[in-house]
Structure 1
Amino acid sequence: MGFEEDALLAESGLIIAPDPESARLTRTITGTDQTGAARDIRIVEERPLTIFLNSREIVTTMTIGDFPDYLALGFLKNQGMLRPGENVTAIDYDDELETIVVRTDQPTDFEEKLAKKTRTSGCAVGTVFGDMMEGLEGLTLPATPVRTSWLYALARTINTMPSLYLEAGAIHGTVLCREDRPLVYMEDVGRHNAVDKVAGYMVATGTDAADKILYTTGRLTSEMVIKTALMGIPVLASRSGFTAWGVEIARDVGLTLIGRMRGERFMCVSGEERLVRDADPAAVAAEDPRSRRKGSRD
């Protein structure tokens, strides 16, 4: 499937996502439960992927192995390593060597940036090269209105749609949405990887960010807020909670930040003036405990 076809699928309302039945992304193991009874369970795979930019090795990340092209593109974009006007000429993925090479029409010169690494609070430990705040100075996101009816509908749909999490657990999801409709759904062992896959999809397909909502099952930390802002997405929502720096950055750049979305409840800590409260919380159905996602207890 090519990038253009992916874009048409997403625009038509079909979700680009891991196949929850994929034998490549999960395996079955036998363990014993609390009673000592033997039981087969499914668990997610994780494998290394080394990302190169032209001839320069950038990073090795642990991933479930799907959509390596989107993951590499999104990681490089969110790290500020794909510059405005720079064209990606080829993406070469080698499954056996577990490497992917993103080739561009400009030389790679990020030695100073690569010399400074920040280990972030991202699960599976995220890495940011250079200044974490690079690209945020002077950034103001569009003041896109958000209807609460969209939020309730998205939470209900995403919470129950087929996923690796519901099959095997131990994984995060990130969904690119427009209004009350999920467009692109990505999962990975690290929430930052799932976000980077969505970012890579947007780069590859030229997706407009101004009318989009990014939904994640992960915590709303500084890293998650920064990545969302750099992607140009004006709304970030999550099942989980916040960190103080994440809230501060969201308020500085005009990002609508909504967390602790469970059933009829949510908390908006940035962009309250952009919420259109068109749904009665008392009319929202309670979540089915059998389909609760990661973050429901945060």
Structure 2
Amino acid sequence: MAVTGPYVLQPDPHDPRLSTSVSGIDQNGNTVETRVVTEKPLTLYLNAQEVVTMMTIGDHPDLLAVGYLKNQNMLADDDVITEIDYDDDLEVVVVRTERETDFEEKLKKKVRTSGCAQGTVFGDVMEGFESISLSSDARLKTSWLHGLTKVINTTPSLYLEAGAIHGCVLCQEDRPLVYMEDVGRHNAVDKIAGWMVLNNIPATDKIFYTTGRLTSEMVIKTVMMGIPILVSRSGFTAWGVELARQAGLTLIGRARGKRFVALAGQERIDFDLDPAQMEDEPERNRRKGSVTSL
């Protein structure tokens, strides 16, 4: 993937593997061509054990696999990954580790989440969640937030090309680093988690941005990754807010232009911009945001 602008990795909306052209008709009965995102299964194995089959657009299967395992507590911090094999024809990715693994009992305790494309978490994930301590030194300046939302919302993406997709961005201060998209926001999160694991990227000074709702799943995954600040242009769920407060996560929603609402971790926010001197988001982008939150 070519790197342009401030990103280390970003969406490639012109990748022919990720979307296709489909014919149909519009409200006037006229024939139209429109782009639609691809969706295909990816079966994940950890060593010899089948873990899950995910529906995904198909890019970065290695990052998705490692991030999923990390966020499900199936990879420990000291685990050594020896190999990642991906077979496009079989639609299978295998992550191999030095340590032998056996999660037969764990795999029986699945909980379906509110995430699109049937997200799942496992019953003992909350045990790890409750033991994590997020950095109290992390800061979020309102000038960073304003700059990030402006850059992210104008980045070429599959959403702008075809819609029906969620995006997540890993940021540091006012710089977006990695932008991932997928049909389920949990997949986009896991791709970023996998990138962080494979590149030994620290989490304590990072900001996580998502186009989707701030649900319990989004809060849990962000905390499990050790990231202290979670931002969305969409809204909240009550359990998401409760878990964020429990974990000490800074939770900011409805971040559009100069507007935002913080419902947890407000002490990390530095108000270094006067809202009266800031531009608001154009009306067309506010309407677009209501679509991305589905």
| TM-score, length of structure 1 as denominator length | 0.93
Q: 1:110 aligns with which of 103, 123, 126?
A: 103
Shift in Å, 1:132: 3.9
Partner Cα separation in structure 2 for residue 13 and residue 75 of structure 1: 26
Give 5+ residue unaligned stretches, structure 1.
Answer: none
Partner Cα separation in structure 2 for residue 172 and residue 281 of structure 1: 28
Letter in 1 for 2:58: G
Matched, 1:78 2:71: yes
Matched, 1:268 2:266: no
Shift in Å, 1:23: 1.0
Match of 2:280 in 1: 286
Moved more, 67-76 or 136-145: 136-145
Match of 1:246 in 2: 240
Partner Cα separation in structure 2 for residue 50 and residue 39 of structure 1: 35
Partner Cα separation in structure 2 for residue 132 and residue 93 of structure 1: 26
Shift in Å, 1:291: 4.7
Letter in 1 for 2:19: T
Alpha carbons 1:175, 1:184 under 8 Å: kept: yes
Letter in 1 for 2:46: L
Match of 1:146 in 2: 140
Partner Cα separation in structure 1 for residue 158 and residue 278 of structure 2: 26
Match of 1:49 in 2: 42
> RMSD in angstroms over aligned alpha carbons?
1.8
Matched, 1:225 2:219: yes
Match of 2:190 in 1: 196
1:14-163 to 2 correspondences below 5 Å:
14-143=7-136, 144-163=138-157
Match of 1:206 in 2: 200
Query: In the TM superposition, what whole-angstrom CA distance separates every residue of 1:224-247 from its partner, at most 9, and x where no partner exists?
Result: 101000100000000111111111
Moved more, 256-265 or 71-80: 256-265
Aligned residues: 291
Give 5+ residue unaligned stretches, structure 2.
Answer: none
Matched, 1:255 2:231: no
| TM-score, length of structure 2 as denominator length | 0.94
Match of 1:164 in 2: 158
Letter in 2 for 1:101: V
Match of 1:177 in 2: 171
Matched, 1:236 2:236: no
Identity among equivalent pairs (%): 61
Query: In the TM superposition, what whole-angstrom CA distance separates every residue of 1:96-152 from its partner, at most 9, and x where no partner exists?
Result: 100000000111211111011100011122111222412022322012111011111
Shift in Å, 1:265: 1.0
